[in-house]
Amino acid sequence: VESTLPPKTFDILLSEISRAGLRPGEDVFVSYCPERAMPGKLIDELIFNYRVIGAKDPTSAELSKILYECFVKSEIEITDPLTAEIAKLVENAYRDVNIAFANEVARICEALGSDVRKVRELVNKHPRVNMLLPGIGVGGSCLTKDPLFLSWVSRENGYSPELMNVARELNESMPIHYANLIDDFLRWKNSGSGIVCVLGVTYKGDVADTRESPAKYLIDELMRRGYRVKVHDPIVRESFGAEFYDKLEEAVKEADAIVIVSDHSGFKGMNLRRMRELAGKDPVLFLDGRLIIDEEEAEVSGFVYASVGNLSSLRRIKDEAFALSETISKAPL
């Protein structure tokens, strides 16, 4: 069995085998070897990543190891099925929690007027710190469900986890947070109307996988609030109900806000000046949800740049506009 399992599922499988009149370890040999499959690197993961084999009896363990040694070039660990089940889920829960920490630091930087990229660069100079890059959300079929599997089974057995649940909630909130930010900007600019261009709908750059992508939740929220949403993705044709455009130029045309959701390689070298010429009237928000665009280049191109963990420019133009309106209101007639 390779599919991700909630803890103790393997025991249920063995019980069903026994009920069918077969003896595990004698008539049938069963083990649990959780998959290691990263989209876009499937073959490398199959061959070069370490594997864990969980088995109840030594014969099943040995036969499974012989099978996997035919193609796995890395370490193969033998353990019991429950440990293997938990280990697989903990791997993804660990990543989810660490991403949530980075996202929380990003939100702190936004609140205090700092830049999370600069903070992260300094923090990671410490030899025992490795802060991940924050982003507009977490997607994929594994990170979004595996912590919930672990939390659910743990609750059923007497302990209610807190950290993993809070981390999951924080990561789920990220696309809604930035939908709110875009909404605030467009209410300030256009009294709540406008066009939003979403660049990328896959949950990960250069991978044709939209499962649990933060783009879906961002688009759903923006459309619910009445905005026209245009989508461009060079990898897939999914739009989650918004308008899909094959050409980047058509997607950004007349846009009041542009937001990067997927860090596709093709988005890293975009002609920002040309995009600004095609977009709507000033000011146009460029929200970098994956921290792949140079802030200075975006500003020089004429955009109001904002990113995960850095809202300084957005605050500045609002403050300047407010100051100007105050000056005009106080001017003698």
Helix (H) or strand (E) holding 168: helix 163-190
Q: Residue written as tokens 């991978």? A: 207
Residue 328 has pLDDT above 90, yes or no: no
- Residue 107's alpha-carbon distances to 93, 112, 120, 167, 263, in angstroms, are 21, 9, 13, 13, 20
Model pLDDT for residues 22-31, shown as the tens digit of each residue: 999 999 999 9
Calculate helix-pair angle for 9-19, 81-112, nearest 10 degrees. Answer: 150
| Bridge partner residues of 232 (DSSP) | 199
| Bridge partner residues of 305 (DSSP) | 286
33, 109, 142, 197: the catalytic one is 142
88, 189, 204, 216: the catalytic one is 88
Model pLDDT for residues 145-201, shown as the tens digit of each residue: 999 999 999 999 999 999 999 999 999 999 999 999 999 999 999 888 899 999 999
Known active-site residue 189:
no
Model pLDDT for residues 200-250, shown as the tens digit of each residue: 999 999 999 999 999 999 999 999 999 999 999 999 999 999 999 999 999
Confidence band for 317, pLDDT divided at 50, 70 and 90 = confident
Task: State the number of CA atoms in the 13 A half-sphere of 316 facing the CB.
Answer: 12
Known active-site residue 41:
no
**What is residue 249's three-state secondary structure?**
helix
Q: Which amino acid is at 29?
A: F
In the chain the domains, ranked by start, together with CATH numbers, are 9-79 (3.40.50.720), 86-168 (1.10.1040.10), 173-328 (3.40.50.720)
